[in-house]
Amino acid sequence: MLSSKNKTVATDLKIGDFLENVEPEKKAQEARTLDALFRRVSGFSPVIWGSSIVGYGQYHYRYSSGREGDFLATGFSPRKAAHSIYIMPGYNDFNYILSRLGKHKMGKSCLYVNKLSDIDLDVLSELILAGLEDLNTRWPVKPT
């Protein structure tokens, strides 16, 4: 089988060290809020993937082409312009939840949120759980 050559892999960086270095302070506070929310909803401990993604849970994928690898199940990255929130594996349409979330932009399998006050965190929790459940029907999600 072809092994994944993902650029983004799990690291040994500590979540506390990572969150301490997030700037500006408002973004760091929101990152701590997201960390608590993801821990509560997913039930998983965080792992830093690459240099800037906080991931919760992981899955092993194997495509029909033979390519396979491991990736985070859900998570976020407190980027300078906006939080990137990785919650939708791209297999299902979650518009019924997204319509209630608040101000956000969509990527292929992630959301971009400028600030947490723009969205409803209860709806985000619902979306995280729906994304994890959907992903788990295709690739078993395991703790990190």
> Greater confidence, 67 or 55?
55
Euclidean distance between CA atoms 92 and 50, whole angstroms: 26
pLDDT at position 12, please? 95
4 pLDDT band, cuts 50/70/90, is: very low
Instruction: Render pLDDT for 22-32 as a digit per residue (tens, 0 to 9).
Output: 999 999 999 99
Instruction: Render pLDDT for 24-64 as a digit per residue (tens, 0 to 9).
Output: 999 999 999 999 999 999 999 999 999 999 999 999 988 88
What structural domains and CATH numbers belong to the chain? 2-142 (3.90.1150)
- Decide: 49 and 10 in contact? Cβ < 8 Å: yes
- For 121-137, b where at least 16 C-beta lie within 10 A, e where not — what string? eeebebbbebbbebbee
Residue with tokens 């979306």: 127
Mean local confidence (pLDDT), 8-26: 94
Sign of the CA dihedral with 83 first, then 7, 36, and 74 last: positive
> Greater confidence, 88 or 140?
140
Mean local confidence (pLDDT), 99-121: 94
pLDDT at position 50, please? 94
pLDDT at position 120, please? 98
Mean local confidence (pLDDT), 10-28: 95
Question: Could you give the maximum distance between any two Cα atoms of the chain, in Å?
Answer: 45
Instruction: Render pLDDT for 73-108 as a digit per residue (tens, 0 to 9).
Output: 999 999 989 999 998 666 567 889 999 999 999 988
Question: Which among 47, 6, 35 is positioned nearest to 142, based on CA atoms?
Answer: 47
pLDDT at position 142 over 80: yes
